[in-house]
Structure 1
Amino acid sequence: MTTKKKAGGWGESLKTVIYAGLIAIGIRTVAFEPFNIPSGSMIPTLLVGDYLFVSKYAYGYSKHSMPFSPDLFQGRIFGSLPARGDVAVFKYPRDNSTDYIKRIIGLPGDRIQVRAGRLYVNQQEVPRESLGLYTVEGDGPRITVRRYREALPASPGAAPRQHEILEATDDGPYDNTTEFLVPANHVFAMGDNRDNSLDSRAMNAVGFVPVENLVGRAEMIFFSVDGSSAWWEVWSWPFAIRWNRLFSAVR
């Protein structure tokens, strides 16, 4: 009798674990998935050590919506295009497995160019307003750069979007480009830390991003740490948390 109860208890526990795992996979596939920020290409919008939720339903579903990107179907189900200005996670087109996060600057048919550090969308200069200086920390040497507010043109059916960018110089490697014509079923993505971002301006690396590679839209920062505390320094954990960034929307 005791043995049967014990076996039944183990069986129920195993089923609970399996059900919980399936529910977690389901939520990560169709609703929200957590991501962390390991590099500074999206400073000042996203900092190294930010943890955020990405909505998987925002652009519909592709094979990349599922763990390990199983080759079950092509294209997107319930698909829709991002809006200009969305911060999106996508699979790196060169390997279709590495997660990248950038801001969507160009949609299919858009003409994108950077001239002397200024962004042009469809041959119109994107306005930017100076916000003064910004000190970059936590992504290599501490440096001071210029901070701007940039206003992208509105996407069809959406309001104009504003966001902040950083520029160390207006004469960097990607501050003067040819004009890029975004092909059908692709988008053009750039980092907000303009001189420290490998993005669609690098055609031999990221290049145009297939719409199929979109994983989801960044929605909210739920946790953030500045890296000043080691995992074993329990007493210093509260001082390493960026409390002011918790539960803030990604814009």
Structure 2
Amino acid sequence: MSDNAPASTAPGTGLLAGKVVLVVGGSTGIGADSARVFAHEGASVMVTARSKDTLAELTEELTAAGHDVAYTAGDVSVGADVARFVEATIERFGRLDGAFNNAGINQYGRLDEVSEEDFDRVMAVNVKGMWLCLREEIRVMRAAGGGSIVNTSSVGGFRGNTGLGAYQASKHAVIGFTRTAAHDNGPVGIRVNAIAPGPTETPMFVKWREADPAAVERRVASVPLRKAATTTEVGNTAAWLLSDRASDINGVVLPVDGGYSA
């Protein structure tokens, strides 16, 4: 269980009460804690990622707490797997009201240092995978008459930073997908937004702190709130964007970064 798990709400209450939400990339970090938030906010949740064992543990945890959660494993860069994620959600819960597209990988190195193989893998997961998710989710939501989608970009999606060229290019692409999908699908009642996390207490961030505490300290010191976000804080923001409380929010890229990008 996450160290910053959300507080429970009474059954039938919460921001997402009665909704069915698909979480793509939900096995650890932001994805897993967002799934926890969505469940605690009343949603029925389908969680997906490549790691079946981790998904099973998360599902068991939330089911034992009384939440309606299921999982299916697969690779977001494979079209058939993404179609199966959506189909499994419809089969298990009967519909799809919201989706959180959070799958992504990082790649360190300047653009001239990244191998073609590594570049292709980042683009396959972070860009092609995002497109595949949007394609399948929108198809179902259009038929149903509406829905809400939140994509995970990054503060690296609207600023530069040395040593993360392929990753940042991919996160710029996520913002482009988000804005285009918002225009394409707003007329049929589908809202598409993105969150842009800054420094966040993910497993990767924790490993970075262990390896280079001074660098992490400098990064956190550049955040006006003088802290990294928790994964639950990021999940809370995604939950709000998915909810009816954000009913007129469409095509927005919302930083969740303590003012880092201000």
Q: TM-score, with normalisation over the residues of structure 1?
A: 0.26
Larger Rg: 1
Normalized per residue, which structure has more strand?
Answer: 1
Normalized per residue, which structure has more helix?
Answer: 2
Considering Cα pairs closer than 8 Å and 6+ residues apart, tell me whether 1 or 2 has the greater RCO. Answer: 1
